[in-house]
A and B are shown apart, each in its own frame.
Chain A
Amino acid sequence: MNDHTLQQLERLVEQCVRPVRTDFADKKRMREDLLSHLSSTFEEELERCGDERAALQQTLRRFGNPADVTHELQQTLSWQHRFSYFTEQIQARQPGESYLYLGMKHFLYALVLSILTSTLILIVRGNNVRTDPATMFWVFAVILAGMSITGSCSQWLVDGMGRALISKSKKSQLRYGLLSVFLYPAAMFAIHLGLMLGPRLGEYQISSSAMLAASATACFGPLVVWLMGPMMAERILYQEKWAAIDLTER
């Protein structure tokens, strides 16, 4: 099979899979299955007719209309797949998306989540809630926003480390490794600071044990970044490879 044929088959696979609203792992499985099937069909047809162009045409004819396949693939999805797709759209960086945009997305998501959580607590507990609603909302917002922004920073570091490992750039590996040392302590200090600046300013103070605990998290950053780096980079490179296929091309 030459490169042109493989590109045509990949394009057909992407036509079927890209519009399907499911998570990364599911789409990967679909792409692998369809591409493997099409490659085998092509080889079978090539053996039969001996001409690559005719074999490709026959393979495409046998496969059927990609829009129908997309529709049927979409129909197979359970609510778990749909939920997983939705959370992935919010949490994970999509191809072409900047980390700033990802951070903003995470921040907005945290705000919505804190409003929902506070409202739910107020509804369930009613008058039994001792803390006033504004403080409760502030605590949730600060913690969730802190966690979500830390999440987007982690993704940036993990991705950078992964790419550095693939390109074997020692300098970049060192840079991302060093930056990751500050990630969790900075996040914890920021959360404490956010709580101090809340509506009941002055009542909340950072204790020395909290500062010690925040400093101790310094070792987790490099560990996360080194362990997840290669996995994340491969995932992003895979997504970028498939996203680069132009479906409008004739």
Chain B
Amino acid sequence: MSDIEERVKKIVVEHLGVEEAKIQGDSKFIDDLGADSLDTVELVMAFEEEFGCEIPDDAAEKIVTLKDAVTYLTANSN
């Protein structure tokens, strides 16, 4: 597991209160991990904070799984 994946997973565990073992790369935040639309906004804010980057709204809308987040942050974080 990459360092970025590990950090993303930690944020998801903290914010959504799910067990780490239940999070798969293709787990959808809303459908599979019990988040609501406001939770996903907060998740993106937490990713921005952790990785020191700004995620524009159109990119944020496309981040629906752990894998999406890791892919985006690998390409765009400092």
The yes or no verdict on A and B being binding partners is no
Point out residues on A near B: beta carbons under 8 Å.
Answer: none
